[in-house]
Amino acid sequence: MTSLRVGIVEDDDRLRAEFVQLIDTSGDMRCVGAYPSAEAALAELPSQAPDVVLMDINLPGMSGIESVRRLRALMPAAQMMMLTVFDDTTSVFESLKSGASGYLLKRAPVSELLAAIRDLAAGGAPMSGVIARKVVQYFGQHGPAPEVQTLTAREFEVLVALSQGEQYKEIAARLGISINTVRRHIMAIYDKLHVNSRLEAVGKLGRVRP
């Protein structure tokens, strides 16, 4: 099986080395580049063609948020995940608006980080539970979009699960369906709600709660 190609942008030397080791010993991933700054990543990472990029926010010089915005233009196929100590609402939404598809806290367990990388590469949008709750709270000031009413009962269940930060395998286990079925439901949800990401889908959910 082809290994997932992962790029890392982290200014803390110890953490960067730990992430590289974690990726390279995972069995199904390899680090194709690890950089201490956004500027270094912009200069070198596009030529490495990573599938997933782990990006710190608080970098010296250019921020991780701006780096993601620029890397997305250079590597549109790569998936970006913010990996940071910050869980404030501003950092979360600026990151997601810049083009990041996932957002995990650095204190997340190793197993959660590796699962999130695989999920992101497979088309998911992993977020730590606390981050997902902030997304829901942010959009809670709005009512649900009319398109939500076009969802089937099962699609609605899956959308609520996405809003709670559940991973694909967690949704599959709880609903008693396969991961491929979860993916098909999510594709249908995105199509009916006219969105392209978990963030946008949860935004359509508004005040609705399980």
Q: Which residue has the tokens 């609705």?
A: 208
Q: What is the pTM (predicted TM-score) of this model?
A: 0.69
Q: Read off the pLDDT of residues 91-124 as tens digits, 9 standing for 90 and up.
A: 777 777 777 878 888 888 888 889 889 988 887 7
Q: Read off the pLDDT of residues 84-96 as tens digits, 9 standing for 90 and up.
A: 886 666 777 777 7
Q: Read off the pLDDT of residues 1-29 as tens digits, 9 standing for 90 and up.
A: 578 999 999 999 999 999 999 999 999 99
What is the percent of the chain where pLDDT is above 70?
89
Note whether 78 and 157 are same-domain residues: no
Note whether 118 and 153 are same-domain residues: no
Taking alpha carbons only, the member of 113, 109, 102, 208 closest to residue 165 is 102
Query: Any idea what the CATH number is for the domain that residue 14 is in?
Result: 3.40.50.2300
Hey, which residues does 81 pair with through a beta bridge?
54, 102
Q: Mean pLDDT throughout 169-185?
A: 89
| C-alpha separations of 193 from 89, 145, 154, 183 in Å | 24, 8, 15, 15
Note whether 39 and 111 are same-domain residues: yes
Q: Collapsing DSSP states into helix, strand and coil, what is residue 173?
A: helix
Q: Collapsing DSSP states into helix, strand and coil, what is residue 149?
A: helix
Taking alpha carbons only, the member of 4, 139, 175 closest to residue 79 is 4
